[in-house]
């Protein structure tokens, strides 16, 4: 096994301290509110740029407002991209996004004197959450060449266009197309992120390797029966749309419980008439499925459609099914995943694999190059919340894994 230099024991604490410091750049509490292209974003970027320079990185900002710190490689070497987003939702936490920026910069500072056979760039994306403008994942989409320039004319609640906010920030709306990266120059993209779920905590593991960012599909289901008096209609003559919906909801739940790599929910339920003494004549609800593989999701959608049909037939209901949204799963790259697994083993951690149930910058980066993600345990699985928390020990474990990963990654 490769011998790696011992990691300073306080690196996790240093990372926690940096995350604490940058959390002050917030529009106000509770929690952190940092929207893209604002004064808070500008001050956060100044701090990130300082960290980058301290790590020996060359700092620039691209046309989309992504702050980039580059460590050059040997002549002709390809580049590994590592990044995440600096922005938060309103009253978000101190870790979602920014963790994946502060961490690699600190690791590159530690590895400053060690040679690597490739270049590295740390990317601090401006806008992942889509809180200020009705667009999201702007930075990675610009790099991948999948950004729709029509979005530049979209406005925030004060009527300012994305183009104006970006230009004022030091970005370059006219240079968006030219900011696209050449996949031939890239080894891939790695994103370190808090898990935002309870899996690692329930397993007692500090980190986990993402297999795929889930694919998503959503349906609206409408069941129509017969509204009638709840006292005078015998039980066997009822056509109760809500009872049909409830049966389908339980079927969705049990199907997802029994299927590895699949989660699903029935929600957004509305019932008519919604009164205690009338049989519901109509029930409308959403079904959402998320799966690590598209084939799993498609099979589940087919099984649930059959269930809707069967329940409706037995209960004398009419039904309609409308697909309202679909997004393909993004599988993580086997080579990057394999190297992550070796780096976890090197650190003495079980290389547990898990799906990402949430979308990330990596989702859009997958249109550009191979992607991988490493999740870090968060307290109570909580995120998008002021109480979002990780421990210094888990921060240290994450630092150790990335340091090993960077030294093990062999581009040849
Ligand atoms: Zn995030």
Please provide residue 49's backbone torsions phi and psi, each rounded to the nearest 5 degrees.
-65, -35
CB-based contacts of 9, cutoff 8 Å, min separation 6: 396
Which pair of structure tokens corresponds to residue 310? 């069967």
What pLDDT is recorded for position 204? Answer: 97
Distance from residue 193's CA to the centre of ligand 1 (Å):
7
d(CA 62, CA 230) in angstroms, rounded, equals 64
Distance from residue 255's CA to the centre of ligand 1 (Å):
29
With bands split at pLDDT 50, 70 and 90, how would you rate the model's confidence at 249? very high
Distance from residue 365's CA to the centre of ligand 1 (Å):
14
The burial class, CB within 10 Å (0-12 / 13-18 / 19+), for 412 is exposed
What pLDDT is recorded for position 134? Answer: 87
**Max Cα-Cα span within the chain:** 85
Distance from residue 412's CA to the centre of ligand 1 (Å):
31
- The CATH homologous superfamily to which domain 11-213+330-408 belongs is Zn peptidases (3.40.630.10)
What pLDDT is recorded for position 5? Answer: 66
Which pair of structure tokens corresponds to residue 86? 């600096």
Query: Residue 401: which H helix or E strand, with range?
Result: helix 392-408
Distance from residue 387's CA to the centre of ligand 1 (Å):
15
Q: How far apart are the first and last CA of the chain?
A: 18
Q: How many other C-beta atoms can be found within 10 angstroms of the C-beta atom of residue 115?
A: 8
With bands split at pLDDT 50, 70 and 90, how would you rate the model's confidence at 43? very high
Distance from residue 244's CA to the centre of ligand 1 (Å):
37
Helix (H, G, I), strand (E, B) or coil at 139: helix
What pLDDT is recorded for position 29? Answer: 83
What pLDDT is recorded for position 2? Answer: 55
Distance from residue 272's CA to the centre of ligand 1 (Å):
38
DSSP-assigned letters across all residues of 309-362: HHHHHHHT-EEEEEEEEEE--EEPPHHHHHHHHHHHHHTT----EEEE-S--HH
Segment 292-302 shows an average pLDDT of 97
Are 98 and 140 contacting, i.e. CB atoms less than 8 angstroms apart?
no
With bands split at pLDDT 50, 70 and 90, how would you rate the model's confidence at 367? very high
Residue spans of the domains in the chain: they are 11-213+330-408, 215-327
Choose the weakest-confidence range: 3-12, 178-187, 188-197, 289-298: 3-12
d(CA 125, CA 148) in angstroms, rounded, equals 17
Segment 123-149 shows an average pLDDT of 94
What are the pLDDT digits (tens) for 234-243? 999 999 999 9
Q: How is residue 231 annotated by DSSP? A: T
Please provide residue 354's backbone torsions phi and psi, each rounded to the nearest 5 degrees.
-150, 160
Q: Look at 6 and 388; give whichever has higher pLDDT.
A: 388
Distance from residue 329's CA to the centre of ligand 1 (Å):
17
Are 120 and 70 contacting, i.e. CB atoms less than 8 angstroms apart?
yes
What are the pLDDT digits (tens) for 146-155? 999 999 999 9
Distance from residue 288's CA to the centre of ligand 1 (Å):
21
Of 192, 168, 143, 195, the C-alpha closest to 41 is 168
Measured in residues, the chain has a length of 412
pLDDT of 6 higher than 80: no
The burial class, CB within 10 Å (0-12 / 13-18 / 19+), for 177 is exposed
What pLDDT is recorded for position 118? Answer: 98
Which pair of structure tokens corresponds to residue 348? 């003495």
Q: What is the dihedral of CA 205, 210, 213, 217, to 10 degrees?
A: -50
Which pair of structure tokens corresponds to residue 151? 């979005």
Tokens 């696209």 belong to which residue? 180
CA distances from 267 to 271, 283, 286, 287, 311 (A): 12, 11, 5, 7, 18
Distance from residue 194's CA to the centre of ligand 1 (Å):
8
Distance from residue 362's CA to the centre of ligand 1 (Å):
10
Distance from residue 411's CA to the centre of ligand 1 (Å):
28
Segment 268-294 shows an average pLDDT of 97
Segment 120-124 shows an average pLDDT of 98
Are 87 and 128 contacting, i.e. CB atoms less than 8 angstroms apart?
yes
Q: What is the mean pLDDT of the chain?
A: 96
Segment 85-90 shows an average pLDDT of 96
Angle, alpha carbons 372-408-67 (nearest 5°): 50
Long-range contacts of 344-347 (CB under 8 A, 24+ apart): 344/207, 344/209, 344/401, 346/1, 346/2, 346/4, 346/404, 346/408, 347/397, 347/400, 347/401, 347/404
Which pair of structure tokens corresponds to residue 211? 């297999």
DSSP-assigned letters across all residues of 250-299: HHHHHHHHHSTTEEEEEEEEEEES-STTEE--EEEEEEEEEESSHHHHHH
Would you say domain 215-327 falls under CATH 3.40.50.720? Answer: no
Distance from residue 15's CA to the centre of ligand 1 (Å):
17
Are 90 and 195 contacting, i.e. CB atoms less than 8 angstroms apart?
no
d(CA 128, CA 85) in angstroms, rounded, equals 6
Distance from residue 96's CA to the centre of ligand 1 (Å):
5
């Amino acid at each position: 096994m490769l011998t790696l230099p011992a990691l300073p024991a306080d690196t996790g604490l240093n990372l926690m301290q940096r995350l604490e410091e940058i959390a002050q750049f917030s529009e106000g509490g509770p929690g952190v509110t940092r929207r893209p292209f604002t004064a808070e974003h500008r001050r956060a970027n100044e701090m990130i740029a300082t960290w980058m320079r301290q790590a020996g990185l060359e700092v620039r900002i691209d046309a989309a407002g992504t702050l980039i710190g580059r460590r050059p490689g040997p002549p002709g070497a390809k580049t590994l991209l590592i990044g995440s987003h600096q922005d938060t939702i309103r009253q978000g936490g101190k870790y979602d996004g920014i963790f994946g920026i502060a961490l690699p910069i600190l690791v590159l500072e530690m590895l400053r004197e060690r040679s690597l056979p490739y270049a590295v760039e740390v990317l601090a994306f401006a806008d992942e959450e889509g809180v200020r403008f009705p667009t999201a994942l702007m930075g990675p989409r610009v790099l991948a060449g999948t950004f729709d320039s029509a979005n530049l004319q979209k406005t925030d609640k004060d009527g300012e266009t994305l183009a104006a906010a970006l230009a004022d920030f030091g970005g370059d709306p006219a240079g968006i197309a030219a900011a696209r990266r050449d996949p031939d120059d890239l080894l891939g993209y790695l994103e370190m992120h808090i898990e935002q779920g309870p899996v690692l905590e329930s397993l007692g593991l500090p980190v986990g390797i993402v297999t795929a960012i889930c694919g998503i599909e959503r349906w609206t289901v409408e069941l129509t029966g017969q509204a009638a008096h709840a006292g005078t209609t015998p039980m066997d003559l009822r056509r109760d749309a809500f009872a049909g919906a409830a049966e389908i909801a339980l079927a969705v739940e049990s199907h997802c419980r029994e299927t590895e790599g699949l989660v699903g929910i029935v929600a957004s339920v509305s019932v008519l008439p919604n009164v205690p003494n009338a049989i519901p004549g109509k029930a409308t609800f959403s079904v959402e499925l998320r799966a690590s593989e598209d084939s799993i999701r498609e099979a589940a959608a087919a099984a649930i459609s059959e269930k809707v049909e069967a329940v409706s037939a037995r209960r004398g209901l009419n039904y309609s099914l409308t697909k309202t949204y679909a997004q393909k799963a993004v599988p993580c790259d086997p080579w990057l995943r394999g190297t992550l697994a070796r780096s976890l083993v090197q650190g003495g951690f079980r290389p547990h694999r898990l799906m990402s149930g949430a979308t990330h910058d990596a989702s859009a980066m997958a249109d550009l190059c191979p992607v991988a993600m490493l999740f870090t345990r968060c307290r109570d699985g909580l995120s998008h919340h002021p109480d979002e928390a990780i421990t210094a020990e888990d921060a240290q474990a994450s630092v150790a894994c990335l340091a090993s990963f960077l030294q093990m990654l062999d581009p040849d």
